Structure formats: C-alpha cells, structure tokens
Homo-oligomer: A and B are copies of this chain.
Amino acid sequence: MSKIHFDRLAASAIKDTPRRRAIISFFEKSTGAKDPETVWEHLKTKFRRCGLPGVYRNLEQMVNAGILVRVQREGRKRYYGLCPGCGHMHHHHIVCVKCGKIGEMPECTLFKGRTLGGFKIVDHFIQLSGICPECGK
C-alpha cells in the first residue's frame, strides 16, 4: 500500500503516464511476477487502445528506473514484478516458487573485488528461489 513505486516513477527520468501508473497498480493488487502478456491482458481492460509492444517497452524502462525487477524463471519467457527495495542500490531478489512473490537480498558484498580461480570478478547475478512466509505456513 506504500506509494514508493509511484514516488519513484514521479522522480525518475521517464514520464509519469496513466499506463505506467496502471502497471504499478496491477502489480500492487496482484501477487507475484508476471509475464508481459499477462500485464497486457490486464491493461487492455483499462485502456481502449493498448498494444503489446508498448507493454514491453514500459516494463523494461520501469526496470531501468528501479521500479520493477526482471526475474529469471524456467523457460524462455521474461517475468517482471515490483521491486520491493525500489530505489536502493544494487541488490538481488528471491522469488517464491509457489506464488511468485518477490523478496529481497539487500546488501551483497559476496563477490566485491574478489578473484576466483584466477578470474577477476567484474559482475555477478544471483537469482534465489524459495518459499515465502505465506506459502510456508
């Protein structure tokens, strides 16, 4: 219910449009990560004219703006969800394997400036999956 994502949208370099607000609202009202087509299905009920390419564009831009996260799951499809730590620095995410809810791994200094088998580590990507508190009950 917090407005951090709307605030972030307003503060970002991309424009604050009805579509982008609707995308945030959709993610807030539903649980878990969604593929672009699912987001589109919803937007079509809100806007008379609405194209899938626009949804792709917006999702990517909102990731760059730090509002959304892109999560990697099985298969060759992308999924997006609200970034819980919206606006913070570099961090990683954990996705619930049951409901798709997204959690967060706030600080990560695991690989900072380290070397591994002679390789100097320059970047790292971590994708955790797990069971969220609700699904674990």
Tell me which residues across on chain B come within 8 A of A18, comparing CB atoms: none
The count of identical subunits is 2
Which of B76, B103, B121, B130 makes the CB contact (< 8 A) with A76? B76
Q: Is A125 a contact partner of B126 (Cβ separation < 8 A)?
A: yes
Q: Interface size of A by Cβ–Cβ distance < 8 Å?
A: 29
Q: Which residue of the partner chain, among B76, B119, B127, B129, contacts A96 with CB atoms under 8 Å?
A: B119
Please measure, in the bound complex, the distance between the C-alpha atom of A125 and the C-alpha atom of B133, giving whole angstroms. 21
Taking a contact as CB atoms under 8 Å apart, the answer to whether B131 and A117 are in contact is no
Q: Contact: B103 with A116, CB < 8 Å?
A: yes
Inside 8 A of A105's CB, which chain B residues have their CB? 116-117
Complexed CA–CA distance, A125 and B71 (Å): 12
Contact A130 B126 (CB under 8 A): no
| 19 more A-B residue pairs beyond the given contacts A121-B128, A122-B131, with a C-beta to C-beta distance below 8 A | A72-B72, A96-B119, A103-B119, A104-B117, A110-B110, A116-B128, A119-B132, A119-B133, A120-B131, A120-B136, A122-B129, A122-B130, A123-B128, A123-B130, A124-B128, A124-B129, A125-B126, A125-B127, A126-B127
List 18 A-B pairs, Cβ < 8 Å: A72-B72, A94-B119, A94-B121, A97-B123, A110-B110, A111-B128, A119-B128, A119-B132, A119-B133, A121-B128, A121-B129, A122-B129, A123-B130, A124-B126, A124-B127, A124-B129, A125-B129, A126-B127
